């Protein structure tokens, strides 16, 4: 939970974003995108400001944040690993590689390490089906992932 002064700062910065993007048609998603860009996540203190600015309920705003997996409710780690969980990647050994990486990192899906170095998330298609199994690390896609690459990845993000 954010402190009162941090909440005030978040609310102020959120109001500026809402004010700038409110005139757009369907402004909620662009507002959430810019808030996440501003803070690295969508803080709880932003939700009532957005709801009030767009004449929506806080539940409606929370529903959108929780529906779209790319919106975070807490800051991500310095590195973000997204492993494809779709059928093509599973059929090429993705499940075993995912378990290996989770074990090496000591994390479970949607978790960020206590040292804030890495966040690991499942995704359901990176569009690299012909190069399965696939991952995305800090926005860069990797195809034909294998055990050696997983070991190197785990070492690199924990360094």
Q: Which tens digit of pLDDT belongs to each residue from 65-117?
A: 999 888 998 999 999 999 999 999 999 999 999 999 999 999 999 999 999 99
pTM, full prediction = 0.81
Cα(45)–Cα(7) distance, rounded to whole angstroms? 6
Residue 59: is it exposed, middle or buried by C-beta count within 10 angstroms (0-12/13-18/19+)? Answer: exposed
Question: Cβ neighbours of residue 144 under 8 Å, at least 6 residues apart?
Answer: 131, 132, 133, 134
Helix (H) or strand (E) holding 153: helix 147-158
Q: Which of 3.50.50.60, 3.40.30.10, 3.30.2130.10, 1.20.120.450 is the CATH number of 79-158?
A: 3.40.30.10
Backbone phi, psi, residue 32, to 5°: -60, -40
């Amino acid at each position: 939970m954010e402190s009162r002064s941090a909440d005030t700062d978040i609310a102020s910065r959120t109001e500026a974003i809402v004010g700038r993007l409110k005139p757009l048609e369907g402004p909620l998603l662009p507002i959430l995108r810019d808030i996440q860009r501003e803070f690295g996540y969508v803080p709880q203190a932003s939700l009532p400001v957005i709801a009030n600015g767009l004449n929506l309920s806080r539940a409606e705003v929370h529903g959108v944040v929780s529906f779209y997996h790319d919106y975070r409710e807490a800051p991500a780690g310095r590195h973000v690993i997204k492993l494809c969980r779709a059928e093509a990647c599973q059929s090429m050994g993705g499940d075993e590689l995912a378990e290996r990486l989770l074990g090496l990192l000591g994390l479970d899906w949607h978790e960020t390490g206590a040292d804030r170095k890495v966040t690991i998330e499942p995704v359901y298609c990176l569009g690299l089906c012909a190069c399965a199994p696939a991952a995305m690390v800090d926005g860069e896609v990797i195809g034909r992932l294998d055990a050696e690459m997983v070991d190197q990845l785990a070492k690199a993000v924990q360094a």
